[in-house]
Amino acid sequence: MFYEDLSPYTYWDEGDEFSDLTDGTRFVSFQPTYVRLNIGWLAAGHGWMNGPASEDFTDKLLAILDAQQVNAMVGLHECDLCPASLPDSHPWYTPRPGHLRASAGTGEIRVPGTLGTAFAAPHLIGHYVADHGYLPPQPFIDAVLAFDPYGPWAARFPGIRFPWIPDDAVLRHVDDE
């Protein structure tokens, strides 16, 4: 699925749903008041910026991917930049031989940018940067370097680190009706 970098996010219009990765059973969903901009929605047949990413940026991006899950979907999205689909015997969550990151994903991340703007990227962005040499636009790189994915979280939303969760958002449990 391809979206131009820095274009308005339109993939999922049901809002943002942040999962608590500390126990995997709680989540908060809300209609964002911030503008979401696409980053890293790459697809074969579409051009994208290629170049070396700094180690600091790559490390911080991978930390965000490990600490945050937004809009987890049922089913997998496989990287179509890779030469062949994974065999059924290969676990989707492990990297291909010679790669650093898994080439399939199920969700997204949000990285706060300038006030009122968040970058929306697929979980595959780590694979694109680490394994395909994708170089995101500088505003995203700056935002990643400024964001602390392991910083404190609001007491109301344990395990969910994002600064712009609205006051009226409700933490839910997977067993809630």
Closest CA to 20 of 168, 177, 167, 165: 165
pLDDT score at 88: 80
> What is the mean predicted confidence (pLDDT) over 38-46?
97
How far is CA 116 from each of CA 37, 111, 112, rounded to the nearest angstrom?
11, 11, 8
The partner residues of 110 in beta bridges, in order of sequence, read: 120
pLDDT tens profile 111-167: 999 989 999 999 999 999 999 999 999 999 999 999 999 888 888 888 898 999 998
Question: How far is the C-alpha of 177 from the C-alpha of 137, rounded, in Å?
Answer: 41
Confirm whether pTM is higher than 0.75: yes
Q: What is the share, in percent, of the chain residues with pLDDT greater than 70?
A: 99
Number of DSSP helices (H) and strands (E) in the chain, helices first: 3, 9
